[in-house]
Amino acid sequence: MAAVVSMSDREGERLSVLSDGRSGRLRISDTCALLSLQRRQVFRLLARLRQDGATGLVSRRRGKPGNHRRPAALRSLAVSLVREHYGDFGPTLAAETLAERHGCVVSRETLRHWMMAAGLWSARKRRRRAVHQPRRRRDCLGELVQIDGSEHAWFEARGERCTLLAFVDDATSRVLHLRFAPSESTFDYFRSVRAYVQTHGKPVAFYSDRHGIFRVNTGEAATAGGGRLTQFGRAMAELSIGAICANSPQAKGRVERAFATLQDRLVKAMRLQGIATMAAANAWLPGFVADYNSRFAREPASLKDLHRPLGADDDLDAILVCREPRTVTQSLAVAWKGTLLLLEPTSFARSLARQKVEVVEHPDGRLTVQSGRVCLAFHTIMPAPFMPPAPEPAEIVDSKRLGPVLALLRERQAGQAAVIRAAAGVTLGPHGAAHGSARMSGAGEGLKGRAARAGCAGCSP
């Protein structure tokens, strides 16, 4: 019985060419050219082919350990250390840690192969992707409304990028509200919620992502699901509307797929209408929404509408605001974002010294100070005298809000610089040099000689 010889593609090609050369169908020079070998190497392979047949062309290193193979003891040590201490480390980090902490120097690729053979790591292509099975739609209109925002070049090159806020019903895929806004913010969602509940009523629940507007993502509240509420969550609780956060983008696929369609159809529709501003787009959107729903909405499983009308106690002006507790000082002052709000010294205000009040921000920019339902008269000092504004804690900013946040920071920094110059009696010359009678502390005090006396040449008399 003939033996089966296992050969690589390269070895099979060599066998074919050498067989032709041996039979005389190819000249030796042509055989050398096809195999990219010298004549003596070709003659050596032909001699081995005559002596051992096809088996003589198989590499004699096959099945033997490579010359650069790492010792088995080193492999056993590295794999055991990774299994015992670094089971959740990737190959790159594990290789660096083994070298730094244990003196076990192994390249990341070698360690990756060892970890894969030991079942400690899986190739990226072999990893199982998360399975998101489709969820059954809710039965009734208004039972669950998915909300989200999408930053996009909605006006293409005709206008600035902005965000489209969308409210999509889970039972019918019907778009119940669309509104353009500069970015996703609490007040923009408040404006959209106001328009929604005034038009449709209060739904059972809003279904959103885990954006910081809807969920506290810092501290214990983020890890343990603490009881702290965002301003949006508090407002929805007062309106008796559930606020549910999805665990993944796929869970709120209705609104995500709606955005995919809107980024195509809505952009082109506004191009045909010549719309280039948010105000014009918001005025035009109702007609587009009606046409969209006539094409893509479906009938619910139940004809019951679970929207509830607004009650007599649902004061939207008092609910859809941002409320922050503050303590009144003995001098009837309330600190607020680097400013002091001085309460008018009435008998009621004096009784609130060292007590808690609420500073209320309204969507239209108004600011009020309240104790219960009583609004307190105040005037503002900016900045607080001898009280530099405390640094605010680092805020987690979603990439969709990064542009507006940076614009706000630039505006705030320019305002602070102007206030500091005014307090020091310093004005800027036409070339940006500082002038004034008040002596500036800091780097300016160290100037000597002509540099200190020169000032701004363009501003000298």
In sequence order, the 6+-apart residues with CB closer than 8 A to the CB of 346 are 377
In sequence order, the 6+-apart residues with CB closer than 8 A to the CB of 355 are 327, 328, 371
How far apart are alpha carbons 329 and 338 in whole angstroms? 15
3-state secondary structure of 138: coil
What pLDDT is recorded for position 396? 57
- Which single residue is written with the structure tokens 């008269």? 377
Q: Exposed (0-12), middle (13-18) or buried (19+): which is 214, by Cβ within 10 Å?
A: buried
How far apart are alpha carbons 301 and 202 in whole angstroms? 20
Q: Name the strand (E) or helix (H) holding 359.
A: strand 356-361
Nearest residue to 145 (alpha-carbon basis) of 32, 313, 322, 305: 305
% helix, strand, coil for the chain, step of 5: 45, 15, 40
Q: Name the strand (E) or helix (H) holding 43.
A: helix 39-52
How far apart are alpha carbons 278 and 159 in whole angstroms? 9
Strands 374-376 and 367-371: antiparallel
Whether the ω angle into residue 383 lies within 30 degrees of 0, i.e. cis, is yes
How far apart are alpha carbons 160 and 279 in whole angstroms? 13
Q: What is the pTM of this model?
A: 0.62
The 8-class DSSP code of residue 100 comes to I
CB 375 within 8 A of CB 368: yes
Please state, as a whole number, how many other Cβ atoms lie within 10 Å of the Cβ of residue 361.
Answer: 18
How far apart are alpha carbons 145 and 117 in whole angstroms? 48
Local mean pLDDT, 10-residue blocks, the chain (461 residues):
72 85 87 89 88 80 79 92 90 93 92 91 72 80 94 94 95 95 94 96 93 82 63 94 88 90 95 95 96 94 94 93 94 90 92 93 92 91 54 55 69 70 57 46 39 42 40
What pLDDT is recorded for position 126? 63
Count CA atoms within 13 Å of residue 95 on its CB side: 13
Q: Exposed (0-12), middle (13-18) or buried (19+): which is 280, by Cβ within 10 Å?
A: middle
What pLDDT is recorded for position 402? 65
In sequence order, the 6+-apart residues with CB closer than 8 A to the CB of 66 are none
The 8-class DSSP code of residue 389 comes to P
What pLDDT is recorded for position 136? 85
How far apart are alpha carbons 214 and 231 in whole angstroms? 8
Which string of DSSP letters, residue by residue, matches 293-340?
HHHH----SS--B--BPPPTT--HHHHSSEEEEEE--TTSEEEETTEE
